[in-house]
Amino acid sequence: MMRRRLLGGVAASLIGLSVVIRMFSQTPGPKAPRQASWELARDAIKDGGPRPGIPDFVNWLTAREIYPCEDTLRKSPAVRDLFDESFHYNPKAAARLCGPLTLAPGAPPMDRALGFWERSNPRLSAIDPPFPSGAQLSAAFWNPVRLPVDPNQGKVVELPVRSGDRTITRRIRITIPEQARAGSAPCGPPKGQGEPATAGVQDVSLDDFFWVRLNRGERYNGASCGDFAVLVAFHLVHKDQGRWLWTTFWWDPESQEFGAGRPRDFQGAGDRPRVWAKYAMDASFDSTGTIFNPWRVEERGSNCAQCHAEVTVYPDRAAAQTISFDSVTAARAHFK
């Protein structure tokens, strides 16, 4: 009798122990932001179609494709001018951008919800539900490089890179390898002027960046068919376990500090998948502390979440009420 009870007790505590072990293994603690960011980005930089060689985060729908909301859920990205707009939303984000404003019965999709919100009482102060885990937003920053007539010419660019909380400016000259020249034939002869080599300005091959050749009909800041759009930086914002993870990448193959923890297999779209490891990264869940992208001089703030929390609130001046779009700018811009 004694013995059975004892065994029962052992069994019970073993079961208890295994429940505890399972709980720990099923709910991993929150990942450090940098580690989470490298992993989430690794998927977002993969080739996503429909245009081959283009990372998924550039293929996601743009706001102009998402709105108006009719049909949005059935839309898949078209082959389009990639430089027309630089902000993109993954399917989960797009679905929420077109979901009902709130859980209230009859709440219309966000692009037709302004009147509904104004008439509702009390007025909700935030979209409900917020964006789901797995929603992602991106912004791509390109630098146009014209194909020079003279193969010895290149383009001198200023390269802001981050060191600690400071920005350092490097000057480099982007040069065009022979192979990249060759592919421009269908666009006719090159038209770019270019600049000669200069002492103190390091030559860097175009192939050290992720780049896209502009197709016929594509234009970007003076570049056209046969020229290049060079990816100098990008933002990825992920909803991860209920929180926004703000991440920013910029070209700097030398940064130890912001290259730390990059997975060995950090490879993405294009003919040179390893080129993606030349981008440095910073990431944060927090609305305090420093996180900025040296390429985005117009965004003077040093914290993504803090600024976005302000710019993504829609104020109704008459009633001194506001609605927040879960810190996502695009929803606000299309709230009508």
Binders of ligand HEC: how many residues, by CB under 6 A?
A: 23
Q: Which residues of 22-58 are buried (b: 16+ CB within 10 A; e: fewer)?
A: eeeeeeeeebebbebbbebbbebbeebeebeebbbbb
Minimum CB separation of residue 300 from ligand HEC in Å reads: 6
Q: Please list the residues that pair with 220 across neighbouring strands.
A: 223
Decide if 309 contacts 279 (C-beta within 8 A): no
| By the rule CB under 6 A, 291 interacts with ligand HEC | yes
Region of 28-36, 165-173, 241-249, 315-323 interacting with ligand HEC (CB under 6 A): 241-249
CA distances to 67, 104, 150 from 334, rounded to whole Å, are 8, 20, 46
Toward ligand HEC, which CB reaches closer, 61 or 206?
61
Q: Which positions from 110 through 169 interact with ligand HEC, judged by CB under 6 A?
A: 137-139
Binding to ligand HEC in span 62-91, by CB under 6 A: 87
Q: Check binding of 333 to ligand HEC (CB under 6 A).
A: yes
Q: Which residue has the tokens 């896209």?
A: 212
Output the six-digit token pair for 293. Answer: 């992208």
300 is a site residue for ligand HEC (CB under 6 A): yes
Reported residue count of the chain is 336
Beta bridge partners of 245: 238
Which pair of structure tokens corresponds to residue 141? Answer: 């920053």
Contact with ligand HEC (CB under 6 A) among 114, 172, 187, 307? 307
**Any contact of residue 311 with ligand HEC (CB under 6 A)?**
yes
Contact between 248 and ligand HEC per CB under 6 A:
yes
Q: Which is nearer to ligand HEC, 211 or 325 (CB)?
A: 325
Write phi, then psi, for 194 (nearest 5 degrees): 75, 175
CA dihedral of 292, 327, 315, 333, whole degrees rounded to 10: 90
Binding status of residue 292 toward ligand HEC by CB under 6 A = yes
What is the smallest separation between the CB atom of 133 and ligand HEC, expressed in angstroms? Answer: 17
Amino acid, res. 274? R
Residue keyed to tokens 């703030």: 301
* Residue of 46, 299, 321, 335 interacting with ligand HEC (CB under 6 A): 299
Provide the binding-site residues for ligand HEC, judged by CB under 6 A.
Answer: 87, 137-139, 235, 237, 246-248, 291-293, 299-301, 304, 307-308, 311, 328-330, 333
